[in-house]
């Protein structure tokens, strides 16, 4: 399979995955912060096609739960109360893409709420929280990667193009940032920023911290490309004709860096999504009640949750397809660049 | 040799100094300090707070604080922890020892698994076992540390195979020395597994790629023609020839494992730098944070230094290149 084809396929996969998260309002049955205090820690409801009388139904249905007699947190499926799944039902109001008011949901039930991935301590629908949480986490990763690449690009281009003491200074600072294990660096920078903030501030704080941590690697790579590009014959020729620095950079040198930037983006985005998750998981990121993939996992830090409510672990698995997609994209993008060599840049993404 | 060593050492030293300055610069950005929460307490007079800040020198300008901190580093204190009311260095040393123990074990184990697996896979490149390994490393690569650690934790809590959390049982002190080792090993099993699994896929892939590149070389064909056994061929001839990129990877893998262990220590409540650092961040105990970050840098720099030494020892090309310069 050609490289172009592979890249296209991975982009398609990623596009579909992100599309689901972007349209979370439609795919999620309920509002992510709406509580159902009567059903805390409800296990996931299983989809059935065959009912108690062994009749086959084409429309999937779930059974409502009833408390196991004598307990207060054990649930049993109540086979007397099947609830068929309805598709394209009107429900909670939401704004598609942030501005289109809508009520249509992919699925739902007529009267009672149904929970396909269970509920959390407040009876909030985990599936809805997962999908809406993805919006926060993925956006943090994407914005973080965008800012990182922008900063790294500017610094790398400046260092590579002007050279001399500017290059030395910038690259020494970059080395400092690369010398730290990145999670420690992330922590250190987060440590010196305010702790108690509202969700929106926290979100931008995280994006800033991520960008501040990650710029050094792309900066070095861009510098390398610029260094070799500025000695190319056509660039020298253009300079001979009297082209200005800015023109040379814009027209001849920076376009050369695009493939490095693309590959870096595919490597950095999942890493930064993970950074957001780690911070939120540890309580340093986006706070409740706004869902994010990190803070959905954070109540796993309680032993009782860990022991009794296994479905609270499911949010950890949702990012696996996303990571797989980005990994595939990154390796497809790298394929042409250096076919069989061990890549310095993938080595560096380790540290 | 000595000159090369000294230059690397000086470089590492400057790096650590730079990181400490960077950490101090960030402290100026910090809004609030450890004593701010006391302002809410009506029983503490404002003058007391001013006095406390003066006592811990938080009211002095940054360069002065940096100099006095450097001074305390020279005296083996690394500043003063507000929360523990004690010098930072002894507090950190205990935790750093635990982190180092965990990380070194995980690094060695990961390499011990990755080397044979990578060589085995490279020998069969493109065939079924190789493809199985490629796919499983890709799958493992897609599972982030956090999910891996939490998954292992959920699994162990539900099955009870290993103790979860901490580094020793409650009755650790009363155990015989053999049982002490067994107890420690049991407690380490979970965090080490998580660390090894998170580091393994990249290591295996790089070993495989490096060895596969060497395997096509004519000198190996010649060696095979001489009737040298397959195993000797692979481990005595091919692996050293492929060692150069792998040794640099070794330096990088230490950094990756340090980052990984930070998270895994928190998740598995291993009494290392991770939970300590997190606690210090939440309490605004700045000297502990700076100390923790500095410790991690020293580990990483030491790891890279070790890799450099190893490379120097393994690769004659580097020796001659340095000597001729």
Q: What band does A343 get if pLDDT is binned at 50, 70 and 90?
A: very low
Least confident of A73-82, A261-270, B109-118: A73-82
- pLDDT for A344 equals 45
What DSSP string runs through A11-69?
Answer: HHHHHHHHHHHHTHHHHSSS-TT---TTSTTPPPPPPEEE-TT--EEEEEEEEEEEEPT
Cis peptide before A134 (omega within 30 of 0): no
Q: What band does A105 get if pLDDT is binned at 50, 70 and 90?
A: confident
Q: Which two tokens stand for residue B86?
A: 């004690």
Q: Are the beta carbons of B296 and A181 closer than 8 angstroms?
A: yes
pLDDT in tens, A268-294: 888 888 888 888 888 887 877 888 888
Least confident of A106-110, A124-128, A208-212, A311-315: A106-110
Task: Kindly provide the b/e burial profile for residues A145-180, where b requires at least 16 CB atoms within 10 angstroms of the residue's own CB.
Answer: bbbbbebbbebbbbbbbeeeeebeebbebbebbbbb
A169 and B CB contact within 8 Å: no
Q: What band does B112 get if pLDDT is binned at 50, 70 and 90?
A: very high
B29 and A CB contact within 8 Å: yes
pLDDT in tens, B170-200: 676 777 777 778 878 888 888 898 899 988 8
Q: Which residue has the tokens 């991975």?
A: A10
- The reply to whether residue A348 touches residue B151, judged by beta carbons under 8 angstroms, is no
CA dihedral (A251, A257, A261, A264) in degrees, to 10, reads -170
B10 and A CB contact within 8 Å: no
pLDDT in tens, B130-157: 888 888 888 888 888 888 888 888 888 7
- The reply to whether residue B258 touches residue A181, judged by beta carbons under 8 angstroms, is yes
- A190's CB contacts (< 8 A; 6+ apart) are A205, A209, A279, A284, B281
Residue B40 pLDDT > 50: yes
- pLDDT for A336 equals 58
Residue B205 pLDDT > 60: yes
B229 and A CB contact within 8 Å: no
- pLDDT for B109 equals 92
Q: In chain A, where are the structural domains located?
A: 45-115, 131-346
Q: Which two tokens stand for residue B117?
A: 């697996």
**A13 class by beta-carbon count within 10 Å (0-12 exposed, 13-18 middle, 19+ buried):** middle
| Residue spans of alpha helices (H) in A23-57 | 24-27
Asked whether the whole model's pTM tops 0.90, one would answer no
- B65's CB contacts (< 8 A; 6+ apart) are B24, B57, B58
In terms of CATH, what superfamily is A131-346? MetI-like (1.10.3720.10)
pLDDT in tens, A18-49: 888 888 778 878 888 778 777 778 888 878 78
Residue A348 pLDDT > 50: no
Q: Are the beta carbons of B251 and B306 closer than 8 angstroms?
A: yes
- pLDDT for A289 equals 81
Using a pLDDT cut of 70, give the percent of chain B over it: 93
3-state SS string for B36-52: HHHHHCCCCCHHHHHHH
Neighbour count for residue B44 (Cβ, 10 Å):
13
State the DSSP H helix or E strand holding residue A65, giving kind and residue range, or none if neither: strand A56-67
Among chain B residues, CA nearest to A300: B150
Indicate the average pLDDT of chain B. 81
Indicate the average pLDDT of chain A. 80
Look at A282 and A99; give whichever has higher pLDDT.
A282
State the best of B23, B146, B202, B272 to mutate against chain A, taking most chain A CBs within 10 Å: B146
Measured between CA atoms, how close is B177 to chain A, in angstroms? 30
- pLDDT for A338 equals 47
Q: Which two tokens stand for residue B99?
A: 């982190």
- pLDDT for B32 equals 64
Using a pLDDT cut of 90, give the percent of chain B over it: 2
What value does the mean pLDDT take over residues B84-107?
87
Least confident of A46-55, A193-202, A263-272, B28-37: B28-37
Q: Are the beta carbons of B271 and B166 closer than 8 angstroms?
A: yes
- The reply to whether residue A192 touches residue B30, judged by beta carbons under 8 angstroms, is yes
Residue B224 pLDDT > 50: yes
Report chain B residues whose CB lies below 8 A from the CB of A346.
Answer: 202
Least confident of A15-19, A26-30, A298-302, B35-39: B35-39
């Amino acid at each position: 399979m050609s490289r172009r084809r592979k890249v296209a396929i991975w982009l398609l996969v990623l596009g579909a995955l992100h599309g689901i998260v972007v349209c979370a309002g439609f795919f999620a049955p309920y509002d992510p912060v709406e509580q159902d205090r009567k059903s805390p820690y409800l296990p996931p409801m299983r989809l059935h096609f065959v009912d108690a009388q062994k009749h086959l139904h084409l429309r999937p249905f779930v059974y409502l739960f009833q408390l196991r007699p004598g307990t207060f947190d054990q649930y049993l499926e109540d086979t007397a109360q099947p609830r068929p799944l309805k598709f394209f039902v009107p429900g909670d109001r939401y704004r598609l893409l942030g501005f289109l008011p809508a009520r249509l949901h992919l699925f739902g039930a007529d009267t009672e709420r149904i929970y396909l991935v269970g509920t959390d301590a407040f009876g909030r629908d985990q599936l809805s929280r997962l999908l809406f949480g993805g919006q926060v986490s993925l956006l943090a990763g994407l914005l973080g990667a965008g800012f990182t690449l922008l900063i790294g690009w500017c610094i790398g281009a400046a260092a590579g193009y002007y050279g001399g003491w500017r290059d030395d200074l910038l690259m020494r600072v970059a080395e400092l940032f690369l010398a730290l294990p990145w999670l420690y660096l992330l922590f250190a920078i987060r440590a010196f920023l305010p702790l108690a903030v509202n969700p929106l501030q926290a979100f931008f704080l995280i994006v800033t911290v991520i960008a501040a941590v990650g710029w050094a690697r792309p900066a070095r790579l861009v510098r390398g490309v610029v260094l070799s590009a500025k000695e190319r014959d056509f660039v020298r020729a253009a300079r001979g004709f009297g082209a200005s620095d800015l023109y040379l950079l814009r027209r001849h040198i920076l376009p050369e860096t695009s493939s490095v930037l693309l590959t870096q983006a595919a490597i950095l985005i999942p890493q930064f999504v993970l950074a957001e998750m780690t911070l939120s998981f540890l309580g340093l990121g986006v706070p409740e009640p706004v869902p994010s993939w990190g803070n959905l996992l954070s109540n796993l830090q309680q032993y009782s949750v860990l022991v009794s409510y296994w479905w609270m672990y499911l949010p950890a698995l949702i990012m696996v397809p996303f990571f797989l997609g980005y990994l595939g994209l990154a390796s497809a993008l790298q394929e042409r660049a250096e076919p069989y060599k061990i890549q310095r840049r993938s080595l560096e993404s380790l540290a | 040799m000595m000159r090369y060593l000294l230059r690397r050492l000086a470089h590492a030293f400057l790096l650590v100094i730079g990181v400490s300055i960077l950490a101090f610069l960030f402290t100026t950005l910090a809004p609030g300090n450890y004593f701010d929460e006391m302002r809410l307490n009506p029983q503490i007079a404002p003058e007391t707070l001013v006095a406390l800040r003066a006592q811990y020198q938080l009211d002095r300008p940054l360069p002065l604080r940096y100099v006095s901190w450097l001074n305390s580093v020279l005296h083996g204190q690394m500043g003063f922890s507000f929360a523990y009311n004690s010098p930072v260095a002894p507090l950190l040393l205990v935790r750093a020892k635990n982190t180092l123990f965990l990380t070194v074990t995980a690094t060695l184990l990961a390499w011990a698994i990755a080397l044979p697996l990578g060589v085995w896979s490279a020998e069969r490149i493109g065939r079924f076992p190789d493809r199985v390994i490629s796919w499983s490393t890709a799958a493992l690569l897609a599972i982030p540390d956090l999910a891996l650690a939490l998954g292992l934790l959920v699994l162990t809590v539900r099955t009870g195979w290993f103790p979860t959390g901490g580094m020793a049982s409650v009755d650790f002190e009363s155990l015989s020395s053999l049982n002490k080792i067994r107890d420690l090993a049991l407690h380490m099993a979970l965090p080490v597994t998580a660390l090894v699994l998170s580091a393994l896929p990249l290591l295996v892939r790089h070993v495989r790629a490096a060895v596969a590149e060497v395997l096509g070389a004519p000198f190996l064909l010649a060696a095979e023609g001489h009737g040298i056994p397959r195993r000797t061929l692979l481990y005595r001839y091919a692996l050293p020839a492929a060692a150069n990129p792998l040794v640099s990877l070794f330096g990088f893998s230490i950094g990756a494992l340090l980052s990984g262990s930070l998270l895994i220590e928190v998740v598995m409540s291993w009494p290392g730098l991770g939970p300590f650092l997190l606690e210090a961040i939440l309490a605004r105990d700045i000297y502990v944070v700076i100390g923790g970050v500095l410790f991690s840098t020293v580990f990483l720099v030491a790891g890279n230094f070790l890799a450099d030494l190893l490379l120097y020892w393994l690769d004659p090309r580097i020796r001659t290149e340095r000597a001729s310069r």
